[in-house]
């Protein structure tokens, strides 16, 4: 059965609190198997052979069952590993992984959106697009940067959920372990 990863947007960091035990129970009640959560920021690894748009299903069921309106971004384990393998900033991944971000997106980034985003970068941050994600560097820190998720989403015209490189690797390890 395929291993999948669900990332919830803005959970336990933006005022929306969800206990990881409740999140696991939610996935299990939907019939997903081997459900595991990582950290407290809405990272779920699970198994499912279900076809169709899992993101829409999870979003609709979360509203209905948990009164939780948030975006879910779902990737399979192979796609997540390809995201890690495609990192255009390998040196930063080793020396400063807390300031290297991968941001899965709802829609693929367009060339025009990436150009608009790059022109809006006020500091030393860098952005590189992937197929349905971005890689971002914050060499001077994330908390003080003016390159916020609101700026990123407004320039790209799509939503996403960011994870630092340390978290991205932990998700990969959980998805690939059996």
**Whole-number pLDDT of residue 178:** 59
The upper half-sphere exposure of residue 56, i.e. CA atoms within 13 Å in the direction of its Cβ, equals: 4
Residues of the chain with CATH 3.30.70.1280: 3-79
**Whole-number pLDDT of residue 14:** 62
Which tokens is 55 given? 């993101």
Radius of gyration of the chain (CA): 16
For 141-168, write each residue's pLDDT tens digit: 998 999 999 999 999 999 999 999 999 9
- CATH number (2.40.160, 3.30.300, 3.30.70, 1.10.20) of 82-176 reads 3.30.70
**Whole-number pLDDT of residue 15:** 65
DSSP string, 75-135: EEHHHHHHHHHT-S-HHHHHH-GGGEEEEEBSSPPPHHHHHHHHHT--SS-EEEE-SSEEE
Question: pLDDT digit of tens for each residue in the chain (178 aa)?
Answer: 899 999 998 776 666 788 889 999 999 999 999 999 998 888 999 999 888 899 999 999 999 999 989 999 999 999 999 999 999 999 999 999 999 999 999 999 999 999 999 999 989 999 999 999 999 999 999 989 999 999 999 999 999 999 999 999 999 999 987 5
Q: Give Cα 69 to chain centroid, integer Å.
A: 16
Q: Are 20 and 37 in contact (CB under 8 A)?
A: yes
**Whole-number pLDDT of residue 127:** 98
Looking at domain 3-79, its CATH class is alpha beta
């Amino acid at each position: 059965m395929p291993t999948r990863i669900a990332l919830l947007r803005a959970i336990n960091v933006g005022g929306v609190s969800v206990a990881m035990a409740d999140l696991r129970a939610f996935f299990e009640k939907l019939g997903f198997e081997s459900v595991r959560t990582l950290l407290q920021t809405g990272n779920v690894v699970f198994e499912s052979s279900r076809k169709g748009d899992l993101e829409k299903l999870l979003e609709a069921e979360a509203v209905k069952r948990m009164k939780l309106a948030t975006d879910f971004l779902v990737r399979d384990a192979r796609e997540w590993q390809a995201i890690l393998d495609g990192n255009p900033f390998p040196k930063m991944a080793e020396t400063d992984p807390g300031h290297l971000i991968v941001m899965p997106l709802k829609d693929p980034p367009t060339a025009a959106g990436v150009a608009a985003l790059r022109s809006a970068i006020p500091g030393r941050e860098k952005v590189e697009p992937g197929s349905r994600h971005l890689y971002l560097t914050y060499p001077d820190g994330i908390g003080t940067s003016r390159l916020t998720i609101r700026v990123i989403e407004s320039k790209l015209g799509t939503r996403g959920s960011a994870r630092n490189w340390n978290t991205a690797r932990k998700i990969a390890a959980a998805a690939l372990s059996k």
